[in-house]
Structure 1
Amino acid sequence: MQQTLMQTDFHFTGQQDVYRGKVREVYTLANDVLVMIATDRISAFDVVMPKGIPSKGQILNQIATKMMAETEDLVPNWLMATPHPNVAIGKACEPFKVEMVIRAYMAGHAAREYKAGKRMLCGVPMPEGLKENDRFPEPIITPATKAEQGEHDEDISREDILARGIVSEEDYVVLEKYTRALFVRGTELAAKRGLLLVDTKYEFGKTADGEIVLIDEIHTPDSSRYFYADGYEERQAKGEAQKQLSKEFVRQWLISNGFQGLEGQSVPEMSEEYVESVSQRYIELYEAITGSSFQKGRVQETLAADIATAVEQWIQSQ
Structure 2
Amino acid sequence: MSLADKVLAVNDDLPIRTDKPIHSGKVRSVYWLTEADSRRLIEEKGYPVAPGTPLAVMVISDRISAFDCIWKGEGGMRGVPGKGAALNAISNHWFQLFKDKGLADSHILDIPHPLVWIVQKARPVMIEAIARQYITGSMWRSYQKGERDFCGIEMTDGLHKDQKLPELLITPSTKGILKGVPGVPEADDVNITRKNIKDNFEAFNFRSEGDIDRYEQLLKEGFDVISAALEKLDQIFVDTKFEFGYVTGVDGEEKLIYMDEVGTPDSSRIWDGEQYRAGRVVENSKEGFRQALLQYFPDPDILLNKDRMEERQALARDNELPESMLMDISATYVGIAEKITGRKLEISDNPKAELIDVLRKGYGLID
- Would you call these one fold, judging by a TM-score over 0.5? yes
Q: Give the corresponding residue for 2:194.
A: 158
AA partner of residue 311 (structure 1): L
- Deviation by residue 1:268-318 (Cα, 9 ceiling, x = unmatched): 53122222222222222222333333332x213xx212112222334349x
Residues 220-299 of structure 1 mapped to structure 2, 5 A cutoff: 220-235=264-279, 241-256=280-295, 257=297, 258=300, 259-260=303-304, 262=306, 263-266=309-312, 267=315, 269=319, 270-296=321-347, 298-299=348-349
1:305 equivalent among 345, 353, 359: 353
Q: Give the corresponding residue for 2:28.
A: 24
- Deviation by residue 1:155-213 (Cα, 9 ceiling, x = unmatched): 22222233343244232221111101101101111112111111111111111442111
User: Runs in 1 of length 4+ with deviation above 3 angstroms?
Assistant: 13-17
Q: Give the corresponding residue for 2:152.
A: 123
AA partner of residue 85 (structure 1): P
Partners in 2 of 1:289 and 1:104 — Cα distance? 20
Distance 1:171 1:261, change over 3 A: farther
Partners in 2 of 1:12 and 1:60 — Cα distance? 22
Q: Give the corresponding residue for 1:238.
A: none
TM-score by length of 1: 0.89
Residues 113-192 of structure 1 mapped to structure 2, 5 A cutoff: 113-147=142-176, 152-164=188-200, 165-168=203-206, 169-192=209-232
Distance 1:141 1:277, change over 3 A: same
AA partner of residue 26 (structure 1): V
Distance 1:146 1:282, change over 3 A: same
Q: Following TM superposition, by how much is the alpha carbon of 1:231 offset from its aligned partner in structure 2, in angstroms? A: 4.4
Partners in 2 of 1:261 and 1:250 — Cα distance? 18
Identity %: 30
Partners in 2 of 1:290 and 1:118 — Cα distance? 39
Instruction: Find the residue that maps to 2:3 and give its secondary structure.
Output: coil
- Deviation by residue 1:19-71 (Cα, 9 ceiling, x = unmatched): 11111001111331121111011111222224411211111111111111111
**Given the alignment of the two structures, is residue 46 of structure 1 paired with residue 68 of structure 2, yes or no?**
yes
AA partner of residue 138 (structure 1): E
Partners in 2 of 1:55 and 1:233 — Cα distance? 30
Distance 1:305 1:69, change over 3 A: same
Q: Following TM superposition, by how much is the alpha carbon of 1:121 offset from its aligned partner in structure 2, in angstroms? A: 1.4
Q: Following TM superposition, by how much is the alpha carbon of 1:79 offset from its aligned partner in structure 2, in angstroms? A: 1.2
Using the TM superposition, name which of 100-109 and 158-167 deviates more: 158-167
Using the TM superposition, name which of 14-23 and 179-188 deviates more: 14-23
Structure 2 segments unaligned to the other structure (5+ residues): 39-53, 73-77, 178-186
AA partner of residue 195 (structure 2): E
Structure 1 segments unaligned to the other structure (5+ residues): 236-240
TM-score by length of 2: 0.78
Instruction: Find the residue that maps to 1:178 and give its secondary structure.
Output: helix
Distance 1:291 1:133, change over 3 A: farther
**Given the alignment of the two structures, is residue 82 of structure 1 paired with residue 111 of structure 2, yes or no?**
yes
Instruction: Find the residue that maps to 1:283 and give its secondary structure.
Output: helix
- Deviation by residue 1:212-249 (Cα, 9 ceiling, x = unmatched): 111111111111111222243341xxxxx312211111
Aligned length: 307
RMSD: 2.1
